[in-house]
Structure 1
Amino acid sequence: MKASGMFKGIVLGLLFAASAGYANAQSQEGSGYWQDIQKSGVLRCGAAVAPPHVIRDPQTGEYSGTFVDLCKKFASDALGVKAEIVDTTWDNIVAGLQANRWDLSMALNQNPKRAMAIAFSQPVVEYQVSGLYDKANPKFSQPPKSITDVDVAGVTIILMSGTSIDGTLSPQIKNATILRLPDIDATRLALSSRRGDILFDDSDSNALFSATGKDRWVTLNPEPAISKQGIAFGLRRSASYSDIQSLNFFIQEKSAIGEIDRIAKGYIDKLAGDIKQ
């Protein structure tokens, strides 16, 4: 009888523990990254300027861009809340997220250092270094496919001085001449005036400039790549796997139906029109 009583006690104890664990799991299901935002009614998106992904109108202070549109759509379509765009800088884009000043950081390059501090969604778009050249340039009668194809004596490569692209690409150049200039306007002017033959910059900047003369400029995306990273949403480390998957499924759908490409192209065309003016 004593042994039987002990056995019953153990069984009851196990059942109680299981029941408590189940109840705790149920309570946790009602609390999470997105559930907390739904309770507050607002999805806060941290914004540092990075056209065409994040654009700020200098006159009105209003934000637009590919990531801004996606933030608003995810807020309304997936969460049923309003989106609030929170102004920040690139120096604070990660720290502000960690400090819970906003819920998503927009248009972050994925890299190992940041991944130690925050979580990432899957890439929305890709960042890479591309080349831009005039299709009428006789030095490129055969379209180049790699850095080796442009690292030729007599070719002048245009770079913005002191950038990460300068630091990454310059050591690879053995035969071509490198023309380093102080800012993006100077590099574009050098390319347009044929002071140099090919401009290497991030693909977004080159896409914007290329759109100003679609019949003139040709883009080189080197294989192998000079530098290539995903550009994604950043989340706090408290986001669970299922939280991140919810955002990823949203991104996957918008990408599959071509909506992300359409949004991005619209902003690139608009910015290119502004540059022409």
Structure 2
Amino acid sequence: MVSRRMMGTAAGLALAVVGSASLGAGPAAAQAGETTFDRIRRTKKLRSAAVIGAAPYYHKDLASGQWRGFYIDMLRMLAEELEAELELAETTWGNAVLDLQSNKIDIFFGLNPTPKRALVVDFSVPCFNNAFSFLAKSGFQAKTWDELNKPEVKIAVDTGSSQDQVVTRLLPKASVSRFKSADEATMAVQSGRVNAQCLVMMLSLAAKKKIPGMDVFVPSPVFATTSNAGFRREADKTWRDYVNTWIEFNKGLGAVRSAIVSNMDLVGITEADFPPGITL
């Protein structure tokens, strides 16, 4: 027979076990639910990622393993402001959004804020403007978008990019070839399979410097996208708001522009290479 005293003792022991388990799980539970901003402040670690072969945005010296590029400089400045250590992983333009969604990284610089991406991640204010342009072999030019919007004009784009979206919207009559990467699309121009490749200005100027016999033109009217930072979507917007404040402050100081201009030498371009009327 179980006495009341024995039942009371057992109940007390059960409560003690539950209580101790709750106390032990407290910090872990709090950390599991903490915001990105709070985690960065607690751990003093800022996690981001970079893309190999994406100069002047990102450039990795394969001999030393060191990263350069204007978004690398901006990440370092941001980490210093936060008194945090910058931790860099490698990613691709296509995987960056997935890395944010899966909480592998806290921020990724260099995303164009397309409506499709905005369904799953948040964006910062713009870091700079990037006009849409075309890379073509010398001799092929178009002054307007209407001149390109013809069935006989063959255009190359990298699938799912902002270039793909703008060509789909503005050149519905053109013959569009879609490739897995921007490099493959550039090769199509080189081989003569297409007339031109749609690229944002920074990338088209870089390609022109690398490949002999190429020209860059910007059809009228000028359409542009912006280059922004991306964030994992969370209810608390403190992290996004902080980065927005940081970007605007450093744009006002000229630090963002300085980071961009000083790294354009990675691809051999200067501001003088920009077509008349086109600015960052």
Q: How far off is 1:157 after superposition? A: 5.8
Match of 1:106 among 89, 105, 109: 109
Name the SS of the counterpart of 1:129 in structure 2.
strand
Q: How far off is 1:99 after superposition? A: 2.4
The equivalent of 1:69 in structure 2 is: 73
Identical aligned residues as a percent: 22
Matched, 1:257 2:253: yes
Counterparts of 1:38 and 1:180 in 2: how far apart (Å)? 43
Q: How far off is 1:123 after superposition? A: 1.8
Q: Unpaired segments of 5 or more residues in structure 1?
A: 1-26
Matched, 1:42 2:45: yes
Q: How far off is 1:73 after superposition? A: 0.5
Contact residue 155 and residue 194 of structure 2 kept, 8 A: no
Contact residue 158 and residue 164 of structure 2 kept, 8 A: yes
Match of 1:58 among 44, 57, 62: 62
Counterparts of 1:94 and 1:60 in 2: how far apart (Å)? 28
Relative to 1, partners in 2 of residues 1:116 and 1:91: Cα closer, same or farther, differing over 3 Å? same
With the length of structure 1 as denominator, give the TM-score of the two structures: 0.63
Counterparts of 2:153 and 2:84 in 1: how far apart (Å)? 48
Count of residue pairs the alignment pairs up: 227
Counterparts of 1:125 and 1:69 in 2: how far apart (Å)? 15
Counterparts of 1:151 and 1:250 in 2: how far apart (Å)? 41
Name the SS of the counterpart of 1:95 in structure 2.
helix
Counterparts of 1:158 and 1:269 in 2: how far apart (Å)? 31
Q: AA paired with 1:112? A: P
Matched, 1:235 2:195: no
Relative to 1, partners in 2 of residues 1:250 and 1:189: Cα closer, same or farther, differing over 3 Å? farther
Relative to 1, partners in 2 of residues 1:36 and 1:187: Cα closer, same or farther, differing over 3 Å? same
Higher mean alpha-carbon deviation, 249-258 vs 31-40, is at 31-40
Q: AA paired with 1:172? A: L
Name the SS of the counterpart of 1:101 in structure 2.
coil
What pairs with 1:215-230 in structure 2 (closer than 5 Å)?
219-220=217-218, 222-223=220-221, 225=223, 228-230=224-226
CA RMSD of aligned residues (A): 3.9
Q: AA paired with 1:269? A: D
The equivalent of 1:6 in structure 2 is: none
- Per-residue CA deviation, residues 65-104 of structure 1 (Å, 9 max, x unaligned), is 2222111101102x11111111223443222222222211
Counterparts of 1:177 and 1:243 in 2: how far apart (Å)? 43
Name the SS of the counterpart of 1:148 in structure 2.
helix
Q: AA paired with 2:186? A: I
The equivalent of 2:17 in structure 1 is: none
Counterparts of 1:36 and 1:166 in 2: how far apart (Å)? 36
Match of 1:246 among 229, 233, 242: 242
